[in-house]
Amino acid sequence: MNLYGKDLICTQEWKIKELEAVLELAAKMKRDRYSPRWTSLLQHRTFLMFFYNPSVRTRQSFETAATELGGHAQFLEPRAMRLKTATTAGETIEDAANVMSRFAHGLGIRILEDQISAYGEGDDLLREYAKWCTIPVISMAHDKFHPCQGLADLMGLHTHLGDVKGKKTLVTWGSGALVRSWCSPQEYMLITSRFGMNVTLAYPEGYDLDPEVIAQVKANCAQNGTSFEIVHDSVSGYDGADVVYSRNWMSPVAYASGELDKASERAKAALHPGWITDAARMKRTNNALFIHPMPVDRGSEVTDEIASGPRSIIYDVAENRLHVQKALMALTMTDAL
């Protein structure tokens, strides 16, 4: 399957067979991590990484992936570059993208929360770079989607559950003060519904996610003959769940003032205490796995007992980021496979 040069902004835009090809290669790379089959695939090739926002796993996993494939990942902070913004003069995306395409073989962009002034700006930025780049553009997490995380999540579920078709996953809002973007839960629901899982979404009134994404998740479920439901209490969604995903996210009015209002969001979240994944709730499940993209807000989104318990796969999924990103980079930055 030829994926050379293909952008990845959201997994929904890739065919199932293309996603399966990534997961299959990632599994091979995980089993035989340092095989000579992989270690020179990106020899002399550079992956540029734009970090508008900091990270732990994302930078580490992409840099490690490039190294293990024989290439190089270059860390870039846009604030240290002369790039045009709404308030500053500088190089346009068209010019920057065309020049970078002459230097490197792939571009990753991470832009979240407080680096935008309205939901959707991050997605627009990635798509503008993809328009002008002649090298693949990969989302390293932006305000709408987190495709590499979604692939890592699914790889973890396949490892522990086998075929996920017909299994139930709960995606529940969690208490906390981190004011997180929508990208991870939205990507998780898209990819799990696409691969045949029943999806229950639970959150307090006033924490709706992107209606276009929700409509797509519903369409995915309808196509697979599976269910999608929304509940607004913190308990009932756990009933019969095979996987529990607990995550805090911001409200739809977070950017009402023209910038992310963290203080207001924290005050709003404090009105909904007790939305936490704990032992009592997990007992209502079908011995569910606990999954989380990290960083985990322990004591707010989930108790330590569950996050560090025998059914937690958070570290497996975190490791999977390395392997799915190696597979993505190998498939999109070279045609050697």
Distance CA 330, CA 82 (A): 30
Parallel, antiparallel or unpaired: strands 289-291 and 168-173: unpaired
pTM: 0.97
Q: What is the pLDDT of residues 28-70, one digit of tens each?
A: 999 999 999 999 999 999 999 999 998 889 999 999 999 999 9
| Average of per-residue pLDDT values in the chain | 96
If pLDDT is split at 50, 70 and 90, which confidence band does 124 have?
Answer: very high
Fold of the 11-146+321-333 domain: Rossmann fold (3.40.50)
Is 88 a residue whose pLDDT tops 90? no
If pLDDT is split at 50, 70 and 90, which confidence band does 290 have?
Answer: very high
CB 241 within 8 Å of CB 166: no
Beta-carbon contacts of 33 under 8 Å, excluding residues fewer than 6 positions away, are 68
Distance CA 244, CA 242 (A): 7
CB 247 within 8 Å of CB 293: yes
Is 296 a residue whose pLDDT tops 90? yes
The better pLDDT of the pair 259, 83 is held by: 259
pLDDT at 145: 98
Say what percent of the chain tops pLDDT 70: 99
If pLDDT is split at 50, 70 and 90, which confidence band does 82 have?
Answer: confident
Is 1 a residue whose pLDDT tops 90? no
Mean pLDDT of 107-131: 97
Distance CA 277, CA 234 (A): 9
Is 257 a residue whose pLDDT tops 70? yes
Tokens of 58: 């994302």
Find the range with the poorest average confidence among 91-100, 133-142, 275-284. 91-100
Is 215 a residue whose pLDDT tops 70? yes
If pLDDT is split at 50, 70 and 90, which confidence band does 87 have?
Answer: low
Mean pLDDT of 99-105: 97
Distance CA 230, CA 221 (A): 13
pLDDT at 81: 80
Mean pLDDT of 112-138: 97
pLDDT at 84: 67
Beta-carbon contacts of 76 under 8 Å, excluding residues fewer than 6 positions away, are 48, 49, 50, 51
Distance CA 174, CA 250 (A): 10
Rounded to 5 degrees, what are φ and ψ at 138?
-120, 130
The closest of 250, 268, 267 to 259, measured between CA atoms, is 250
Distance CA 150, CA 174 (A): 19
User: Which option is the CATH number for 148-317: 3.40.50.1370, 3.40.50.300, 1.20.1090.10, 3.30.70.2860?
Assistant: 3.40.50.1370
CA distances from residue 74 to 105, 256, 300 in whole angstroms, order as listed: 11, 35, 35
List, by residue range, all CATH 3.40.50.1370 domains of the chain: 11-146+321-333, 148-317
Is 205 a residue whose pLDDT tops 80? yes
Say what percent of the chain tops pLDDT 90: 93
CB 137 within 8 Å of CB 169: no
CB 69 within 8 Å of CB 41: yes
